[in-house]
Amino acid sequence: MTVTISWQETSARRLERQFLANAASGGDSVPGIVSAMLGAHAQVLSAAELSIGVRSSGLTRADVRTALWDDRSLVKTHGPRGTVHLLPAHELPLWTAALTAIPSGSASFAPDVRVTDEQARQIVAAIGDALDGVCLTIDELSEEVVARTGPWAGDLVMPAFQDMWPRWRQVLHRAGQAGALCFGPGRGRKVTYTRPPHFDPLPPAEATAELLRRYLHAYGPSTPSYFAKWLAAPDGWATRLFRKTAAEGSIEEVDFEGAPAWVVAGDTSFPSSGWKGVRLLPYFDAYVNAARLRESLFPGEAYRRALAGGQAGNYPVLLVDGVAAGVWHQRRQGRRTTVTVEVLGSLTARQERELEEQVRRVGEVLEARPELVLGEVAVGPHA
């Protein structure tokens, strides 16, 4: 008999497993929280620091930076969708094997701009060699890559930000996903890159199956289509992976809101009721990026206000009882930060107290004195 699971049950379990229903205790490390999230989106590092901090009872941005730059237990690199993420260093054998096993989609560059598969392989190898044991700026890395490959890699053919980038830059994210590159400490205002410690990737088939199981543990029930969107992978590849993993008995089908979806085999225990509470989630938080059904997570007016063209993450989200109920923005000035929260609808007295507590926690994570302002958020998406 197929197990039937509701959105409320699913949302409650996801929040529990994301350390959002109950904050991680002092015994849960920064890498442990990031592992539960399946990576923290870090295009804007302060947003990643908040994503991790609000899932704990006492961590601050300083703890995240210590894990990243001092302990090296976190790595800032290119993760799912080729976007910049924080990942646990000890999980790189899994992530690199799984991400490089995903077939590349159709090239978005003009034919005279693209690189061949062999050229891409040469560029990734050159990046890894150039960064071994050193930190280089993008210009320094460019010189090294061209010297190791050939002048063709340095052709200024990629339109970017009213400028032209060298051809090899289109492969930068692949080098990160392959473990040949990660971010290093800043050099003044300049970004640097280095190479993670050497490791042996898992076998690709083992890695993709394990990543699927971890995804379903954190965000299930889900479907091949949703998994593909989370990874920016081809739908057909995701469908075949689900089918193969199901045939091996590692995942099983359930009924999720009247449609077939999948969970890890045997992982069919869910809370009997929905979660009640208030949370503030920053830009591109892992929960809003990965959790589906999107129309259930962003009901009514929230679908228009808190999404940008249907894409989640472009606005920080006020989460009330497991669904988006507003947007927010923080503006820092010195040691103070003003947190403006735009509520869609109204809050109970209990929810207002919880919101004040969440704003206090945001201030703790950012090491700033917070001020709560209730009103319209005037900035646009990803401001």
Q: Which CATH number do you get for residue 224?
A: 1.10.10.10
Residues 209 and 225 grouped into a single domain: yes
Residue 135: give the domain boundaries: 106-201
Instruction: State residue 165's pLDDT score.
Output: 94
pLDDT tens-digit profile, the chain (383 residues)? 789 999 999 999 999 999 999 999 865 689 999 999 999 999 999 999 999 999 999 899 999 999 999 999 999 999 999 999 999 999 999 999 999 999 986 667 888 889 999 999 999 999 999 999 999 999 999 999 999 999 999 999 988 877 899 999 999 999 999 999 999 999 999 999 999 999 999 999 999 999 999 999 999 999 999 999 999 999 999 999 999 999 999 999 999 999 999 999 999 999 988 899 999 999 999 999 888 899 999 999 999 999 988 888 899 999 999 999 999 999 999 999 999 999 999 999 999 999 999 999 999 999 999 999 999 999 988 76
Has residue 299 been placed in a domain? yes
Residues 194 and 209 grouped into a single domain: no
Secondary structure of 179-217 in HEC code, one letter for each residue = CCCEEEEEECCEEEEECCCCCCCCCHHHHHHHHHHHHHH
CATH code for position 180: 1.10.10
Instruction: State residue 100's pLDDT score.
Output: 96
DSSP state of 61: H
Residue 382 three-state SS: coil
Residues 365 and 326 grouped into a single domain: yes
Residues 260 and 337 grouped into a single domain: no
Choose one of 166, 201, 236: the last residue of a domain: 201
Has residue 333 been placed in a domain? yes
CB 218, CB 37: distance < 8 Å? yes
Has residue 362 been placed in a domain? yes
Residues 196 and 129 grouped into a single domain: yes
Instruction: State residue 160's pLDDT score.
Output: 83
Give the chain's domain count: 3
* Neighbouring C-beta atoms of residue 339, cutoff 10 Å: 25
Choose one of 201, 225, 253: the last residue of a domain: 201
Choose one of 225, 240, 264: the last residue of a domain: 264
